Amino acid sequence: MYTYGMELRKSLSILDLSIKEEIVLLAIIQGINTPLLLAKETRVTRPAVYDILKKLKERGLVKSHIHNGKKSWSLASKEDIDEALYETKKVLLSISEGVEEVKGLSDGTIVVHRGKVAILSMLSHIMNHRQEARLHIMQGDMVQKGWDAIVGKETINKFNDDLRSHRIITEAIFPNHWFKDHVNRLGIDEGIKWLKGFIGRAYSAHQIDKKYFNHAGQIFMFKDSLYLMAMNEALVVEIRNSEIQKMVKSMFSFIEEHAEKVDINIGLQKMIEELENKNKM
């Protein structure tokens, strides 16, 4: 009978297998691939081995093969095991539908958030787990449509309020005339309300030519995570990898050094006063 290291057996504890299920799975990992050999090497009866193989297959841990009329068994593929384990993780951690996680081999993790429910949950997580953090933002010229559809105007205003109340230090890169263009789209009354939601949100802001922002993409970057956002397509890719984050931070620094720095809060207040005066006329 095969013996196995304690570390390997300990790592399988999360699967909550019976003793017999565990030793059959461990034998398959070692390359024992038929019910006859599994029964012989594990000392589990053949009928029990067949039953265990069926259960392990249903859980996505093993798969069967037929070659020259003979059936053999092997460990499932990495992708199948990842999917099976992630389904358990979603239940345990109450992860929203539409969220997919892919782990890398280094310090990296990629989480894909698809659809309204998953994205709203992600935004809530950002606000609830970021106190006095630094946030870098860059966004295209056509992002508001997706935010309005997925998040809604009231939630957008609350998001801006949370950024201020949580004392998140925001450094933003915008296309020139971005605020003015959106006010023209919204109209004066809605535009004033929208602009007020941004006051106090950004610690610093840089503006560059809008020709570089003819898209609906966004980047949110914290110290420990990076979010590549396509809100118009209800898609956010969250990346936690130190080297990718260093690369994007360098990109932000380069743009800021070649952009016009503006006091966004003074500019917004001036726009609001002009619009309010225009509304009184």
**36: number of Cβ within 10 Å:** 11
Would strands 202-208 and 169-175 be described as parallel, antiparallel, or unpaired? parallel
Give the pLDDT score at 102: 62
Higher pLDDT, 79 or 51: 51
Q: Which of 36-40, 126-130, 234-238, 251-255 has the weakest average pLDDT? A: 126-130
Backbone angles phi, psi at 106, to 5 degrees: -105, -130
Give the pLDDT score at 247: 92
Q: What is the set of domains in the chain, with CATH numbers?
A: 6-80 (1.10.10.10), 96-280 (3.30.870.10)
Give the pLDDT score at 107: 53
Q: What is the per-residue pLDDT across 33-49, written as a single tens digit (0 to 9) for each?
A: 999 999 999 999 999 99
Give the pLDDT score at 148: 84
d(CA 170, CA 221): 10
| R_g of the chain, CA atoms, integer Å | 27
Give the pLDDT score at 106: 47
Give the pLDDT score at 105: 43
* Inter-CA distances, 100 with 96, 97, 188, 218, 238, Å: 9, 9, 40, 20, 10
Average pLDDT, the chain: 81
Q: Write out the two tokens for 260.
A: 């016009």
Give the pLDDT score at 80: 76
Q: What is the per-residue pLDDT across 187-240, written as a single tens digit (0 to 9) for each?
A: 777 777 777 776 766 667 888 888 888 898 999 998 888 999 999 999 999 998
